[in-house]
């Protein structure tokens, strides 16, 4: 049971407008790991994440999360989702934001402060989110996703534009969460960030370029950085 | 639906407005100023303010609440917080009712202030009891709130939401019986007027300004206005989509 895959995608296809955002994507993600979802902007990363969270309609194929079809009601309490642009209320303080989501999830009030502490924002609890920097807003949004200790965290570009010191600290937090048995899917268009992820899903033009560990990627391509390996795989496709 | 989530949502919406003093001030002051202006315009035309003042007391809060609510819910959509809430264990009705409750509360405040000032300060003279005037004004403001919630479901941008005001409100305003009594409209328009909520809201206001007692007609009008408000809440929740194409 413990090693049952958390996410199973089988020939998943999503069409948005006239174009296929995802084409025949098949992969499995096992629990307790950080998987980097890597690909250039427009490759379908966000669409895949929204499909997993259950806010994106699927055209064909299968997508199961914890053994249930994506978007099933019981999954809502088990997934934490951070959208690309921070989805928090600008006209509330950080603490008011957290407290609202805490009461929606039915958690004890203390969880709000704990989540703010986890993203290093305790000192800014009383600050209006609208007056915060982009990085601080992104962290408030991340703190909301941490509430209730969800089993699966889906994070869409959570570290973009952050100060390197802070970015390092967040990656340490992600590793800690994975060590506690939680599964993390983290997207990035910055190849360097992928170096932090033991496992990688690479997307390009809605297709899965490859899925595997970093070692597998390097062995397959003969390259020594994620960036070069991505280029090699993309060339091979053309 | 869970009361805890509904109440948490309305408390959150009120806190948001608590940080926006200007909006709060505008919400309470604008109807009062407009009614004052109307009373002033009609100073030399005795009796006219008493005739249309009550009807406008129903219309101003209706319009203001419609606009405020539709913009507020649109912001919830465009900021991504709506998607976040819908990905959580959160009922769609909790969101809509949360909004309806908080804006409803503001609507009550607004209607009470506007009608009290109209009667006490501007000398609006109505035949019926004052509390019924207040009650009707509150019902109309609630109707504006819930219609605004519903209309915002069809707006993708702030510009569209603003255009809904002439699209949703002006036809009702023209047909509600204030400009031309409903029974003297061309028959097709009369039929249309009879299915629009503002017609009943204005009818009740006009009755209370003429009749010393509360007739069954007023209660029927009030019930119809509230039924429209409830229908708008239910439809508003039904139009929220967890999944998009």
Q: Which of the four pLDDT bands, split at 50, 70 and 90, describes residue B70?
A: confident
Give CA–CA dist A90/B113, Å, rounded. Answer: 30
Q: In the predicted model, what is the mean pLDDT of residues B225-242? A: 89
Q: Give me the pLDDT at residue B57, please.
A: 86
Question: What is the DSSP track for A81-117?
Answer: EE-SS--S-TTSBHHHHHHHHHHHHT--THHHHHHHH
pLDDT of residue A238: 65
How deeply is A131 buried, as exposed, middle or buried, from its count of CB atoms within 10 A (0-12, 13-18, 19+)? Answer: exposed
Q: What number of helices (H) and strands (E) belong to chain A?
A: 8, 10
CA distances (Å), B203 to each of B34, B210, B214, B229, in order? 21, 11, 13, 17
pLDDT at B71 over 60: yes
Closest CA to B131 of B52, B214, B66: B214
Checking if the pLDDT of B167 tops 90, the result is no
Chain B environment of A81 (Cβ under 8 Å): 84, 87
What is the reported pLDDT for B65?
Answer: 85
Interface of B with A (CB under 8 A): 4-5, 8-9, 11-12, 15-16, 19-20, 79-81, 83-90, 242-245
Under DSSP, the state recorded for A156 is E
> Min CA distance, B163 vs chain A (Å)?
25
Q: What percent of chain B lies above the pLDDT cut of 70? A: 99
How far are the Cα atoms of A22, A79, A187, B73 from residue B30, in angstroms, in the given order?
51, 44, 48, 21
Instruction: Look at residue A1 in the predicted model and tell me its pLDDT.
Output: 47
Beta-carbon-side half-sphere exposure of residue B176 (alpha carbons within 13 Å): 26
Tell whether the model's pLDDT for residue B4 goes beyond 80. yes
Say whether B87 and A73 touch across the interface (CB within 8 A): no
Measured on CA atoms in the order A63, A69, A72, A78, is the torsion positive or negative?
negative
Phi-psi region of A17 (alpha: psi -120 to 50; beta: other; left: phi over 0): left
DSSP SS3 for B124: coil
Mean pLDDT of B216-223: 95
pLDDT digits (tens, 9 = 90+) for B74-113: 888 888 899 889 888 888 889 988 988 998 898 888 888 9
User: What pLDDT, on the 0 to 100 scale, is given for residue B87?
Assistant: 85
Indicate yes or no: CB of B80 within 8 angstroms of CB of A85. Answer: yes
- The predicted model scores a pTM of 0.86
User: Which pLDDT belongs to residue B216?
Assistant: 94
Got the DSSP string for B159-172? Answer: HHHHHHIIIIIHHH
B15, B20, B87 ranked by CB distance to A53: nearest:
B87
Taking CA atoms, B38 is separated from B53, B55, B137, B196, in Å, by 8, 12, 17, 25
Measured CA to CA, the distance from residue B113 to residue B119 in angstroms comes to: 10
CA distance A220 to B22: 62
pLDDT per position as a tens digit, B124-139: 999 999 899 889 988 9
Q: How far apart are CA A74 and CA A223, in angstroms?
A: 42
Q: The sheet that has A68-69: what strands, in order across it?
A: A19-29, A7-16, A60-65, A68-69
Q: Which residues of A touch B5 (CB under 8 A)?
A: 103-104
Phi-psi category of residue A206: left, alpha or beta, with phi > 0 → left and psi -120 to 50 → alpha: left
Put simply, whether A20 touches B (Cβ < 8 Å) is no
pLDDT at B226: 95
| Digit-coded pLDDT (tens) for A15-39 | 988 888 999 999 999 999 999 999 8
B80 contact residues in A (CB cutoff 8 A)? 83, 85-87
Signed CA dihedral, B40, B42, B46, B49: sign only: negative
Q: Which residue has the tokens 């002051």?
A: B29
Joined together, the tokens standing for residue B140 give 């109309």
**Contact residues on chain A for B244, CB-CB shorter than 8 A:** 55-57
**CA angle centred on A180, ends A176 and A184, rounded to 5°:** 70
Long-range contacts of the stretch A5-8 (C-beta < 8 A, 24+): A5/A29, A5/A30, A5/A31, A6/A30, A6/A31, A6/A65, A6/A66, A6/A151, A6/A152, A6/A183, A7/A52, A7/A63, A7/A64, A7/A65, A7/A152, A7/A183, A7/A185, A8/A62, A8/A63, A8/A64
ipTM of this predicted structure: 0.84
Report the DSSP beta bridge partners of residue A188: A38
CA angle A45/A48/A51 to nearest 5° reads: 150
Q: Cβ of A100 under 8 Å from any chain B Cβ?
A: yes
**Chain B nearest C-alpha distance from A45 (Å):** 16
Most confident range, picked from A220-234, B95-109, B159-173, B180-194: B180-194
Output the six-digit token pair for A14.
């999503």
The pLDDT assigned to A2 comes to 59
Q: How far apart are CA A84 and CA B174, in angstroms?
A: 45
The beta-carbon neighbor of B80 closest among A53, A73, A83 is A83
- State whether residue A123 sits within 8 Å of chain B by CB: no
d(CA A22, CA A13): 5
Q: Please list the helix, strand and coil fractions of chain B in percent, rounded to the nearest 5, in that order.
A: 80, 0, 20
Tell me the nearest-neighbour CA distance from B79 into chain A, angstroms. 6
Q: Which residues in chain A land under pLDDT 50?
A: 1
Instruction: State whether residue B121 is helix, strand or coil.
Output: coil
B39-69 pLDDT, tens digit per residue, is 999 999 988 898 888 888 888 888 888 888 8
Q: Are A37 and A188 in contact (CB under 8 A)?
A: yes
Q: Does A124 lie at the interface with B, CB-CB under 8 angstroms?
A: no
């Amino acid at each position: 049971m413990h090693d049952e895959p958390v996410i199973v995608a089988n020939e998943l296809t999503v069409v948005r407008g006239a174009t296929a955002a995802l084409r025949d994507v098949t992969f499995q993600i096992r629990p307790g790991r950080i998987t980097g979802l890597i690909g250039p902007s427009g490759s379908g990363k966000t669409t895949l994440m929204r499909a997993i969270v259950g806010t994106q309609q699927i055209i064909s194929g299968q997508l199961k999360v914890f053994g249930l079809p994506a978007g099933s009601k019981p999954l809502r309490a088990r997934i934490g989702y951070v959208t690309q642009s921070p989805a928090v209320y600008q006209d509330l303080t950080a603490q008011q934001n957290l407290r609202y989501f805490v009461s929606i999830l039915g958690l004890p009030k203390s969880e709000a402060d704990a989540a703010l502490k986890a993203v290093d924002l305790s000192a800014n609890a009383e600050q209006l989110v609208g007056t915060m920097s982009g990085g601080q807003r992104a962290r408030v949004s991340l703190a909301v996703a941490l509430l209730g200790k969800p089993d699966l965290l889906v994070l869409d570009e959570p570290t973009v534009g952050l100060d390197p010191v802070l970015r390092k600290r967040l990656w340490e937090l992600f590793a800690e969460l994975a060590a506690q048995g939680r599964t993390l899917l983290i997207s990035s268009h910055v190849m360097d960030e992928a170096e932090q992820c033991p496992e990688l899903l690479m997307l390009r033009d809605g297709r899965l370029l490859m899925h595997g560990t970093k070692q597998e990627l390097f062995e397959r391509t003969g390259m020594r950085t994620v960036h070069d390996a991505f280029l090699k795989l993309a060339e091979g496709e053309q | 639906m869970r009361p805890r989530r509904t109440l948490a949502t309305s408390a959150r919406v009120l806190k948001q407005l608590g940080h926006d003093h200007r909006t709060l001030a505008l919400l309470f002051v604008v109807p009062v100023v407009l009614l004052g202006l109307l009373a002033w315009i009609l100073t030399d035309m005795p009796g006219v303010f008493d005739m249309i003042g009550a009807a406008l007391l129903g219309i101003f809060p209706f319009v203001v609440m419609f606009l405020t609510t539709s913009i507020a819910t649109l912001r919830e959509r465009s900021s991504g917080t709506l998607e976040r809430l819908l990905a959580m264990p959160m009922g769609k009705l909790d969101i809509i009712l949360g909004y309806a409750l908080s804006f409803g509360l503001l609507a009550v405040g607004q209607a009470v202030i506007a009608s009290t000032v109209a009667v006490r300060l501007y000398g609006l003279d109505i035949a019926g009891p004052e509390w019924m005037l207040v009650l009707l004004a509150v019902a109309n403001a609630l109707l504006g709130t819930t219609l605004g919630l519903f209309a915002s479901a069809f707006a993708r941008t702030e510009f569209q939401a603003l255009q809904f005001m002439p699209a949703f409100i002006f036809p009702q305003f023209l047909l509600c019986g204030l400009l031309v009594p409903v029974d003297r409209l061309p028959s097709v328009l009369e039929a249309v007027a009879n299915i629009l909520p503002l017609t009943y809201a204005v009818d009740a206001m006009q009755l209370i300004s003429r009749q010393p007692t509360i007739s069954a007609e007023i209660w029927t009008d009030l019930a119809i206005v509230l039924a429209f408000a409830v229908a708008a809440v239910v439809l508003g929740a039904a139009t929220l989509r967890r999944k998009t194409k």
